[in-house]
Structure 1
């Protein structure tokens, strides 16, 4: 994928406090160390947001597949709700990323994954640290995308109650993942009011969808 999605905005650069060139070598090294720490922190937060975006797009793709394959009215109604909820969550995530000067991965689950560019001014050590940390993660994300495409292909080959049960089993698993990501985010990014608000607002949705999937699965 070889993407990079870090936009270091004016506010962030002021926070870092890395202005012009440093005349003294020790100051330069201190600035580089600070920049590396900030770059790593930004990379970690982007990767966290990417995992949420990936989950949302997975659920939308699964919901659309269920509308094509399932003849169960309850499963189809659940699929509609699933699509609506996760499209709304993804839109909220995109808005948060824009406001925070973070560019999320361009994830396409139906075709070859797209790539995102990079932009915005950098500073001493920030870009280097972000790029270094992102390289391995991008490979991981590529594998996640390809694995999920394989899951979609396998699921699309099924029909009837077999499809419905496997579809709901995957949804249960994904909603648990959503809950785990939410708990992790609330713990690690409690100082980010906007992200904490987004996570707290959507936490009940994952719990509700998990219970709905379980109930539907038991009725089939």
Structure 2
């Protein structure tokens, strides 16, 4: 009888050990799955943060051109420069509006689109806590960087505003020529990074054509003023 009980206990112990092993394995699998989900979420969040940073940088560029153009509309003395300034402002206002519409469709909040610092992106339904963690990590210091860019624009505006007559016109055109070159670099970066996003790529390509055209026109006006 004792022998039978021993066998029963042995079988029961074996079954229990098997069940415990299965449970432990299930916990390990679950833990691994959770870790993979978290890592995936972080990657998604970082990618979202990177996109927001880029859109913010492009928005700041547009705002800069609009501000400089408005100043030239008021202060330029050469009629051609004034006319160019109006075209520059209208071009970048249009580019900014296209960027704003695109961002709204993607449920992004880009403070720089309203001439402020970059803020956040709606992450609803994008994949758990890992997403927010990855996003926050990527966005560290972004507002400060864009704030510095805005401060730099304001400082250059003040210096430019102090100039008068032909001196202002020349300085404005020189500033715009340099800016358009930087703008093309920003747009080239975006077209390379987001080449698989058809709608965003189209937006960037349209803006790049505008920037290239304005760079050419600014250079031509500079040459005319040197004669």
Q: TM-score, normalised by structure 1?
A: 0.83
Correspondence for 1:127:
132
- Alignment of 1:219 with 2:194, yes or no, is no
The 1:199–1:54 alpha-carbon spacing in structure 2 relative to 1, beyond 3 Å, is same
Match of 1:207 among 192, 195, 212: 212
The 1:102–1:119 alpha-carbon spacing in structure 2 relative to 1, beyond 3 Å, is closer
Correspondence for 2:73:
67
Match of 1:157 among 143, 162, 165: 162
Structure 2 distance, partners of 1:26, 1:158, is: 65
Match of 1:168 among 161, 169, 173: 173
Match of 2:200 among 179, 195, 200: 195
* Conservation of the 8 A alpha-carbon contact between 1:31 and 1:124: no
> Which residues of structure 2 form unaligned runs of 5+?
1-28
- Alignment of 1:101 with 2:112, yes or no, is no
Give the CA RMSD over aligned residues: 1.8
Match of 2:84 among 68, 78, 81: 78
Q: Secondary structure at the match of 1:71?
A: coil
Query: Looking at CA atoms only, which structure, 1 or 2, has the larger radius of gyration?
Result: 2
Distance apart, 1:101 and its partner CA: 2.0
Q: Count how many residue pairs are aligned between Structure 1 and Structure 2.
A: 195
* Conservation of the 8 A alpha-carbon contact between 1:38 and 1:126: yes
Distance apart, 1:114 and its partner CA: 5.7
Q: Secondary structure at the match of 2:129?
A: coil
Distance apart, 1:106 and its partner CA: 3.5
* Conservation of the 8 A alpha-carbon contact between 2:176 and 2:215: yes
Structure 1 residues 95-131: Cα deviation after superposition (integer angstroms, max 9, x where no partner):
111112222123666xxx4674665536221111111
> Which residues of structure 1 form unaligned runs of 5+?
1-22
Larger helix proportion of the pair: 2
Correspondence for 2:37:
31
Distance apart, 1:142 and its partner CA: 1.1
The 1:119–1:183 alpha-carbon spacing in structure 2 relative to 1, beyond 3 Å, is closer
